[in-house]
Amino acid sequence: MIFAVLIFLGLTATSLQACVNKTTDQQDPWSVQLLQSTLTVNNDFDASINGSSADGQYVIEIVGNKGKVIQNSRNTQVVVNNQIPWGSNLTLYSIIGADSTSILMGWIYCSHDDLLTALWLEDTSGLAGFTNSTVVGNCHADSTARNSSYAIREECITVDPPSVYPSMQGLDVSLQPHNVGAVNLSQEYDLLPFEIVDCLDCGNTSTNGWVEIHSVLSSKSLSNICIGIFCLYAEKGPDPMVLLSYLNCFQQQEKSTQWLPATYDISAYTSPPPPSATPASDAATSFPQSTVMKIVSLMVATIF
């Protein structure tokens, strides 16, 4: 479903680690380092997209698969790295970029008659996390392959972990309280959770909801940084697995969706009501940002 996209990088294979706090001279494990580099995004499409919200708070301008997102006065350079058919009338484009405070990713909704209908953004700083902005504008894409170069400035991004998050333990994934986790994909990544979405009542029955761990993945050896969502389902089979989905990386070298065998604990989250009890909507109130997030999460659940 997700079109193959190759990203070739002009990066040296330096070790990528957390940033060093210049006061303490210690590495801060809850940080990731973007190395100064130029990467080339090699897409099999060529998209130009621009639009803005009615209040002028959000602007997006993309030409030839790269450009910027402006949120008030905050300007983030982004590249488009995926084109995803979405239902019968829409195509989604995923974007990723970074500025001095956070890593930003998003989804651009384009209709088949070339109208930009919405822009959904999520970032690691929490400042603009989970914003679904009604942006209108124009999209134009054709199937001409296009390589765009993209300059990354060296930045240290600090991730503020949620005070509580689920634990996971499997052969290739590990996340325990108070520590940066780890996941092995095509290479080893540190796993830094930055947002939890309680979606236990988002399922199509009262028992098949899930909890999402929105995370930054930072590779230990070859420099790659991704944002991805671990979905931990309430219904566990005999061999429990977590779903890693929506992986959006500066280097597109990982599958965007994969299942990883792991045990996990989501008991800290509100249990959904038993089938005969209150309607599912009553359970929605416990999580403050739930409304937008649940729409987002339903999108996550249905994309494959």
Ligand X SMILES: *[C@@H]1O[C@H](CO)[C@@H](O)[C@H](O)[C@H]1NC(C)=O
Which chain residues interact with ligand X by CB under 6 A?
8, 21, 23-24, 28, 42, 48, 50, 61, 87-89, 118, 120, 132, 134, 138, 140, 145-147, 171-174, 182-184, 188, 204, 208, 292, 295-296, 299
Q: Which residues of 247-259 are buried (b: 16+ CB within 10 A; e: fewer)?
A: bbbbbbbbebbee
> Torsions phi, psi of 263, nearest 5?
-85, 155
Please identify, using beta-carbon distances, which residue of 188 and 240 lies nearer to ligand X: 188
- What separation in angstroms does the CA of 199 have from each of 126, 215, 232, 237? 19, 16, 10, 19
Closest approach, Cβ 8 to ligand X, in A, equals 5
Please identify, using beta-carbon distances, which residue of 34 and 173 lies nearer to ligand X: 173
Closest approach, Cβ 89 to ligand X, in A, equals 4
Closest approach, Cβ 52 to ligand X, in A, equals 8
Please identify, using beta-carbon distances, which residue of 37 and 50 lies nearer to ligand X: 50
Please identify, using beta-carbon distances, which residue of 21 and 72 lies nearer to ligand X: 21
**Degrees (nearest 5) of the Cα angle 92, 97, 100?**
150
Distance CA 300, CA 209 (A): 12
Closest approach, Cβ 134 to ligand X, in A, equals 6
Please identify, using beta-carbon distances, which residue of 249 and 296 lies nearer to ligand X: 296
Half-sphere exposure of 155 (CA within 13 A, CB side): 15
Please identify, using beta-carbon distances, which residue of 1 and 171 lies nearer to ligand X: 171
Burial of 105 (0-12, 13-18, 19+ CB in 10 A): buried
Q: Can you tell me which residue has the tokens 């697995």? A: 241
Residue among 58, 62, 61, 60 nearest 71 (CA): 58
Please identify, using beta-carbon distances, which residue of 101 and 271 lies nearer to ligand X: 101
Closest approach, Cβ 27 to ligand X, in A, equals 11
Closest approach, Cβ 31 to ligand X, in A, equals 7
Closest approach, Cβ 171 to ligand X, in A, equals 6
Spatial CB neighbours of 155, under 8 Å, sequence gap ≥ 6: 33, 34, 98, 99, 100
Tokens of 276: 């005969």
